[in-house]
Structure 1
Amino acid sequence: MRLTVSGRGLRPLVSGFVLLLLLAACASLPGATVQQPVQSPNDDYDYRYLTLANDMQVLLISDPGAPKAAAALDVQVGSGDNPPGREGLAHFLEHMLFLGTDKYPDAAEYEQFITEHGGSRNAYTSFEHTNYFFDIQAEHLPEALDRFAQFFIAPRFDAQYVEREKNAVEAEFQMGLTSDPRRGLDVLQELINPEHPFHQFTVGSLETLADRTGSTIRDELLTFYERHYSANMMRLVVFGAQSLDELEALVAPVFEQVPNKDFEPDPIEAPLFPEQSLPMLVKIQPQATLRQLEVSFPVADYRSDYKVNPLAYLGNLVGHEGKGSLLSQLKAEGLAESLGAGSGLGWRGGALFSVSITLTEAGAERYERVLQLLFSYLDMLREQGPQQWLYEEQSRLAELEFRFHEDSTPMNYVSSLASGMHYYEPVDTLRGPYLMSRYDRQMLNELLGDVAPGNALVVFSDDSVETDQVSEFYGVPYARQQVAGEQLARWTAPVRHAELDLPPPNEFIPDDVSLVPLADEAVSLPTLLLDETRLSVWFAQDHEFRIPKGATYINFRSPEVGQNVQQTAAALLYTALLKDAVNEFSYPALLAGLNFELYKHAQGISLRISGYNDKQIRLLDRLLEVIQQPDFDPERFANIRADRIRSLANAIAKRPSSQVMDDLREALLHGEWGEQPLIDALAELELADLEAYATAFWAGATAETLVFGNYEPSVVPALAQRLRELLPTDGAAPTLPPLRVTRLAEDEALQFVVDVPHDDSVVAWYLQGRDQSWHDRAATALTGQIIKSGFFQQLRTEQQLGYVVSAFPWPQLDVPGLVLLIQSPNTSAVDVVAAMESFMAAVSGSLDQSQFERHRAALVGEILRPDKNLWERAEFYWQSIAKKQYQFDGRRQLVAAVSALSREQWNDYYDEVFLRRRQSLQVVAPGRWQAVPDGYGPRLHDAADIKQTNPAFLID
């Protein structure tokens, strides 16, 4: 797998091609320079690229039918620009901009306005960027934009919120203390050249943000803002239902008020690592049970060479998982489970190319053999040299991806575009991430020359390593040594008995991307075309998105899933083994835009194939062949079982609030078990047991299938015949036990006390709706909409109880429920619950009629939000079929129930169900206080006890 970093996350790095300009330049306001980006033939939005009079670059996107509008502004400033000794200042500034401006001084006003009008907002700070974004009901974009613009025109930085919000940054820092990625980054930053800005701690803490003699943190915030937040360093993207001319008239007058200080960032001339410090070996003791080898190479900054995109070429090869790949050889030797490769960090002047390998136990013991294989693979790439045919194959795949561009959510789209605008020419704003149109052999050779052993930082993480240092901020034990002589010779010794080679031509690249004729324009909902004892097939053609792709989803149900922990463990391991068995031939399909998923669910195993429909049958045949006649290797069985056990054991390294939510889910859903019971069951499973389980599973299996997309009805009989070969041919289908959700009685309170190894206290308070009726679902969902903004504002911004503070509806298998969730580094669970109680008691009295109507309209708009792409539509159909909602009208019924609620009816429901006669399950992790609130029912310490002593909702 090849990965690259964009903003906060990792995503596949792809390539692209050149298209004709599709739109002519449009009229524009005086003072703005207009350019037109190239767009995909499958993209029906209208675009306009502007440079405002203050040098801010703006991309406008018009979609007249859009129910949601969105905007994002990316400032090319981040944690790498923190002043020396003020770690976390850029991140802290990001927090502060949400808390009041001169025009809108109320710190709660922006959050409240966005939420009441069906929207959401967030931001992130990376090394070079700070990215702010929101979405909202389309008709309220003008007012939202005016509020948003004030962040960059006249923020207040009120002293009281400066003091309070430092606690939120501290809470975020404390929350990450058990996160191995953050802990590893802390070690990396200590190793980096102190003259390089990436050497600095990035998150910030109460210590780094404290006032100092002669300098308050507020003064330094103002100085930092005045220096860096300049219009010429900003990129703005606005997506709305208005025309381009209307959007420009809306945006330009407001955002031209942002001052242009003609700021230019200082060049980063210092090398990332001190001279002569590489190659280096670093050993880290992880928090989780982690066995990982990460090898990073400082390389040039290729972002201006995005049309060549050399890092994509190299990442695709090193991260390949097919025959002849590095990962294939590592698996064959029992040394690794997974591998990722790509650009993990970039800055003005350089980048890191990184290879991350998850090791088996044997791989950890023989990590030098893993290094030998990696360096041998890179040697092979250098010896064979850049391959133009491989480059052109990658380019062709990216050309297809851009040609058949699919819509995403507006907020994600604008955020990504705003970040990319700093690096792409205006004409390439949309296609830039896909471009790979200029083969440059010399540039590729230069990159291959840099990924050499003498230029490597090797980080080995395993709990067995010996250490002699501790990192400053996260307290990570580690050791480092420079590598030379005999040790380096071992790493670079020629390998034997290894089959390393370039990947063969990709057989799954689609040749036919034509659209099938529509059989009947009037019929677009799925129709049951086949209904047999053990097999049913629903079919629908896609009438709206019209791309040469489709989704074939198959749900194999069996009574051999979910009835006990042994079944669950066996189903988890069985699907993992099947995925491993098909990975080598299915990985090229993934690269070619043909995806498959195989996973356990509550009643069976699901197989999903999606993407270009041209080669789907070829992939399906090979998958079904393996499922019918698996030949599991005993060594792979042992390694995969160990990997599953390790993943479960690593739950202790998850965010504490996530662990508590997992405990809540286990207490509610019958058929779910905690980590330790699953670990015990997996440890007892042998290969013979698993093979016997697979036989039993298929003996009782039935298959329900959805075929949706660019298909003709004639595919159904052929698909059905293939599936019949997996299913029993005689006898009635077995009756499946119903799904069950723990049912709390009226006025019943339970308290589930869980052990989470972290200093923070965590409370997840679950309040169950009264029943499963549409009225109950509507009233509970509306309650979540009404309280989420105020809950965050009061308990996080005002009271600073923690970084994780949220209230949200949380239906489980259509049983409605509400969750209040807080993870606090500074407040006991007793006081957290008291704060929750005070907030809930005040909700209905503070809600006037106009606010109620806005919240109701916002929820209706969200439920009716049109599907953005083929996959969202397929998921809706698939979930409807699973719930036996064969009229596919669940959204309409929920909207009708929400619309029917008056303020008085909702208030009565809220008062009765969520205040006076609650159905309450409170999950509490006491943290360092070891204090649990009194008066919330009997205290239980095992999810199984909750499920055994309470009745259940039965879900057919």
Structure 2
Amino acid sequence: MQVLVVEDTKISKTACSATFQTGHFDDDDDCHGLSHLLEHMLFLGNASTEVANALGDFVSAHGGTLNASTGTETSSYFFDIFSDVFDDALAQFSAMLFSPLLQTTYIEKEIQAIDAEFKLKQKDDLRRLYQVHKETCNPNHPFSKFSVGNRQTFEKFSALELQKKLRRLHQRYYQSANLCLSVISSLPISETKLIVEKHFSHWKHGKKIKRDAYPALYLKHQLGVLIQITPLQKAQRLIITFALPAQNQHYRAKPLAIISHILGDEGYGGLLDYYKGKNWATSLSAGGGIEGSNFKDFNINLQLTDKGLNSIEGILSALFSYLELIKKQGVESWRLVEMARLNTLAWRYGENPKPIDEVLKLSHNMVDYPPEHVMAGDYLFDKASPAMTYSMLDFFSANNMRLKLIYQSQKTDTVARWYDTPYKISQLPPAIVESTKSVKPIDSLTLPKANRYLSDINQLAIKEDEYTLPTLIHHQPGLDLWFGQDQQFQQPKGDCFLTFDCPAITQGIEIATYKRLWVALINEKLTQKYYQANLAGLHFHLYPHQGGFSLQTNGFSAKQLHFCTDLLTQIVVNEDFKSSFEQVKNGQVQLLNNSLLNKPINRLFTRLSVLLQQYNYAPIDMAEIMGKAQLKHVIETKNSLLGQFNLEGMMYGNWSIEKANEAVDKVRAFRQLYAHSTPLSKGLVDLTQKPVQVHFVDCQHNDDAVVMYFQAPSACTEDIALTMLFEQMIATPFFNQMRTERQVGYLVGSGYLPYNQHPGIALYIQSPNFSANQIIIAMQQFLSEFLQSLNDYQEIWTALKAGLIRQLSQTDSHLSMKSQRLWMCIGNKDFTFSQNSKMIAAIEQLTFSQMLEFSQRLMWQKKCGELILISSKHKVKTLNDWQEITSISEFKHQANYLS
């Protein structure tokens, strides 16, 4: 058994991941989905405890999360938890993995759950395309197996027969020699090592699994093909795939990274720039694709315009012309040195991910890399080889290519099993093959130049203790600028924030829609211009929000302040949108219209924010306006937004006050060009004075779904604390009852959901088997029983409070996380940056009797508000005391707003 232990004193938790080298490739040929079913069953009782979800409940009660995933050749189980109870958690984790009960009663229930999961994905175009991929590869390769499983694949076996299959699968593959375990902990390595040994040393030693070599992923007639696929969502995509051998052994040379780095360049003169100029495509990504122990697909993914749909030969001719250019001059030594440097910067100065994410990646790395390179294998680039790159480019040929053409209203002759995806596979037409041969150079195509944003990393700024927390360093009407110097992470990085509150946004949905289009057009321009800056670790994010729009930059500090102020100027002066207007507008219309096809739960939560937030609007309503937008509307909107605004900003990171003041001077000079206003009040609908509100949302999906939202009485610290505690108290029993025991739905959960800093709770269920009426009745029955049993929770009250306090006391794991938190404090007018401290003090003072009173008020609408959102294909019976929202605009017009 391989074990990796990492000590990290900057965190307060321990994260653990167990990855077994087995996945759906090992499913029985007559029972596809078996590995997925086994993943589900491991959580439902073991030799140590018969209680279902016992580990999940324990982890949740101690500030952590637990999850699992089944892949093609690996299966992973992972959790995080506060370190002082890691010993107890790992004991349960080991038992869960080693000795599952696999009870027949739960087998029958989990078949229902997996079938619900399958039905949930039937409207997912990615999953539908994936199934076409499986059906058009070698049927003797295990990739062709149906990985998810459903009622149909399982129901031909009795529960006892499935139990035998599960036990046989578990006994063969869930053994120590087939396990990679990784742990990241705040505990000393020596202590963590002892805990792991205590709970895993009893595992049988086992033998390394020996497998027969897999056959080729594609048969000869499955290459050099055109696959035409009809999606559900409006989409126009071309995926160009080249079939390659496995790449794991080349992790230090990374030949495909070199090729994708060049092909995917979004700057001037690149392949995407050429396609945009021809009005053939709006976006391009290169390098993705499925991979495994004996295969790797290299994908070039294009979003096509209408003109591009009819220009496939030209698209391919340009691609192969560019590939020839790469072969001639693309693998130069300076480019390899530059890429190695970019990888080194990412390794040395990358943001620390969440421990649970990092530990999962490490357990997978233990499968992919030798022990000495488990930590750095993803970044190593010390064996770059032009010869290796050229050998990979030899695979980029028409007879080794698969084209997937994806758009609606095309002729197909086959329907993929399980997901009912219409498709047609045929040999590439001669015209397409010919377009890849004897290609001529294209003068406007050029390879990426040396990255001018790569520079020596600057030194850390001299500490200035008065700026440890953000300080208001400039104030004038319509402009507040804050500065803080990071002294915790000691990295040459920083974050800048600028947010515009624009009174013009109160004019309604039209200006909000045109603002969205204007921001998209600006992003289109700036992304191309600053593509290399992004590669070099200097990032920007320009986005609309309900009060206006915001600009954020982050990354290396050396050139960032100049970068940020330069972007600020370009945002307001750029009006040259003629060449890209129709492309970007059509993309926005498509995004807004496709929201109808989102899964019901997502649709309901989107609509919830539309109903509650004063200046938020429904995507489907914006789509109609967007479709009629003209360039003059965008220019008029830009002028209206900038005609008067309030600007607030913060710089936090590796800068001195002198550098910050230089940036202040530039922002102030910019600010003086425009009229100022006060910060915009963004209203939140007050539900507390209304009867129960109910709203129906259309969705093109067969599942029914319900979201119940409860709005707390106020936004005072005590009510926020009580709302958070109540959600933590209800989360586990709600999931266990609705999902595990009663199987009401597959997507089941709860969440603390504040809007405009006002606390609230949402309960949600999506189900393929229960109607919305049945879901509502089940939820109300649960809530009634839960309130009647609240006194039973008194014994965990102290632990519940302690767990939430510990969560609020956790330190930031990286600089950007801290910057975001401090910026949110400024937005919430918490200028002492002490909201968490105040919250902790409030939680410590709360009594269980206060929680009892609050729970009754929240659930029975005493000075609280309730909004129920429903998506259903069935007739829904509403209660007499419910008030239906039939018009969003009328509801918001008549509403009282909390400021």
- What TM-score bracket applies, with the shorter chain setting the length? over 0.9
CA distance in 1, matches of 2:239, 2:10: 47
Q: TM-score, normalization: structure 2?
A: 0.97
- Structure 1 Cα separation of the partners of residues 802 and 261 of structure 2: 46
Displacement after TM superposition at 1:652 (Å) = 2.4
CA distance in structure 2 between the partners assigned to 1:711 and 1:323 by the alignment: 32
Choose the corresponding residue for 2:766, options 805, 823, 829: 823
Shift of 1:252: 1.0
Q: Within 5 Å, give how 1:520-669 maps onto structure 2.
A: 520=465, 523-620=467-564, 622-669=566-613
Looking at structure 2, the residues matched to 926 and 214 of structure 1 have their Cα atoms a distance apart, in angstroms, of: 32
Unaligned runs of 5+ in 2: none
Tell me how far 1:726 sits from its aligned partner.
Answer: 3.4
2:286 paired residue number: 341
- Report the counterpart of residue 926 of structure 1 in structure 2: 872
Match of 2:155 in 1: 210
Give 3-state SS (helix, strand or coil) of 1:529's partner.
strand
Whichever residue aligns with residue 546 of structure 2, its letter is A
**One-letter identity of the residue aligned with 2:717:** W
CA distance in 1, matches of 2:632, 2:671: 21
1:117 aligns with 2:62: yes
Secondary structure of the equivalent of 1:508? Answer: coil
1:832 to 769, 775, 778: 775
Deviation at 1:584, TM superposition (A): 1.9
Q: Does 1:230 align with 2:188?
A: no
SS at match of 2:855: helix
Matched, 1:131 2:69: no
In proportion to residue count, which structure has more helix?
2
Aligned length: 896
CA shift at 1:747, angstroms? 6.6
Does residue 277 of structure 2 align to residue 332 of structure 1? yes
* Contact preservation (8 Å) 2:104, 2:160: no
Q: CA deviation at 1:488?
A: 1.1
- Structure 1 residues 621 and 66: alpha-carbon distance in aligned structure 2, compared to 1, 3 A threshold: closer
* Distance of 1:859 and 1:605 partners within structure 2: 33
Instruction: Quote how far apart the aligned CAs of 1:464 are.
Output: 2.6
Partner Cα separation in structure 2 for residue 947 and residue 255 of structure 1: 58
- Take 1:279 and 1:758, find their aligned partners in 2: how far apart are those partners? 35
The answer to whether structure 1 residue 402 and structure 2 residue 356 are counterparts is no
The one-letter code sitting in structure 2 at the alignment partner of 1:418 is S
Q: Deviations over 1:671-728 (max 9, x none)?
A: 1111222112212321122112212222213321101000011122321232234334
Q: Distance in 2 between matches of 1:495 and 1:157?
A: 63
* Equivalent position SS for 1:266: coil
For residues 744-776 of structure 1, the C-alpha deviation after alignment (integer angstroms, 9 at most, x for no partner) is 125720110111111111000111111111111
Of the structure 1 ranges 374-383 and 316-325, higher mean CA displacement relative to structure 2 is found in 374-383
Matches within 5 A, 1:858-873: 858-873=803-818
How far is the alpha carbon of 1:398 from its aligned partner? 1.0
**Do the aligned partners of 1:926 and 1:932 also contact (CA within 8 Å) in 2?**
no
Q: 1:511 corresponds to which residue?
A: 456
- Once the two structures are TM-superposed, the CA of residue 487 in structure 1 deviates from its matched residue by 3.3
Matched, 1:240 2:179: no
Partners of 1:632 and 1:385 in 2: CA distance: 32
2:740 aligned residue: 797
- Counterpart selection for 2:635 from 691, 695, 712: 691
1:736–1:639 CA distance, 2 compared to 1 (3 A): same
Q: Residues 10 and 813 of structure 2 are in contact (CA less than 8 Å); yes or no, is this contact kept in structure 1?
A: no
Pairwise CA distance, 1:62: 2.1
Say yes or no: does 1:938 pair with 2:893. Answer: no
- Offset at residue 223 of structure 1 (A): 1.2
Matched residue, 1:37: none
1:214–1:745: structure 2 CA closer, same or farther, 3 Å change rule?
A: closer
Contact 1:553 1:607 in 2 (8 A): yes
Deviates more, 1:230-239 or 1:262-271: 262-271
CA–CA separation in structure 1 for the residues paired with 2:418 and 2:793: 47
- Report if the CA contact (8 A) 1:267-1:349 is conserved: no
3-state SS of paired residue (2:367): coil
Aligned partners of 2:568 and 2:758: how far apart in 1?
Answer: 35
Cα deviations across residues 443-462 of structure 1 (Å, max 9, x unaligned)? Answer: 11111111222211110111
Give yes or no for contact 2:598–2:699 (8 Å, CA) kept in 1. no
- Counterparts of 2:440 and 2:612 in 1: how far apart (Å)? 53
Change (3 A) 1:513 1:264: farther
Distance 1:729 1:630 in 2: 16
Matching of residues 669-680 of structure 1 within 5 Å:
669-680=613-624
Task: Report the Cα distance in structure 2 between the residues aligned to 1:814 and 1:548, rounded to whole angstroms.
Answer: 32
Q: 2: distance between equivalents of 1:936 and 1:261?
A: 64
Change (3 A) 1:322 1:730: closer
Alignment of 1:46-61 (within 5 A): 56-61=1-6
CA–CA separation in structure 2 for the residues paired with 1:884 and 1:217: 58
Asked whether the equivalents of residues 313 and 432 of structure 2 are also in contact (C-alpha less than 8 Å), the reply is no
What is the rounded CA distance, in whole Å, between the counterparts of 2:127 and 2:67 in structure 1?
21
1:98 and 2:43 matched: yes
What per-residue deviation string (whole Å, max 9, x for no partner) do you get for residues 545-589 of structure 1?
010001111112211225411111111111111111112221111
Per the alignment, do residues 437 and 900 of structure 1 end up closer, same or farther by CA in structure 2, a change over 3 Å counting?
A: same
Q: Per-residue displacement from partner, 1:313-340 (whole Å, max 9, x unpaired)?
A: 1221111111221111111112212111
d(CA) in 2 for partners of 1:586, 1:184? 33
Change (3 A) 1:813 1:601: same
* SS of residue matched to 2:296: strand
Distance 2:359 2:82 in 1: 15
Q: Contact 2:33 / 2:146 at 8 angstroms: preserved in 1?
A: yes
Q: How far off its partner does 1:523 sit?
A: 4.2
Moved over 4 A (4+): 495-498
Q: Decide which of 217, 225, 231 is 1:280's aligned counterpart.
A: 225
2:240–2:402 CA contact under 8 A, matched in 1: yes
Q: Partner residue of 2:404?
A: 459
Distance 1:213-1:837 versus aligned 2 partners, 3 A rule:
closer
Distance 2:437 2:860 in 1: 68
Choose which of 731, 739, 743 in structure 1 pairs with 2:682.
Answer: 739
State the secondary structure of the residue aligned to 1:286: coil
Give the Cα separation in 2 of the matches to 1:935 and 1:72: 50
TM-score, scaled to structure 1: 0.91
Give the corresponding residue for 1:749: 692
Q: Greater shift after overlay, 168-177 or 891-900?
A: 891-900
Aligned to 1:17: none
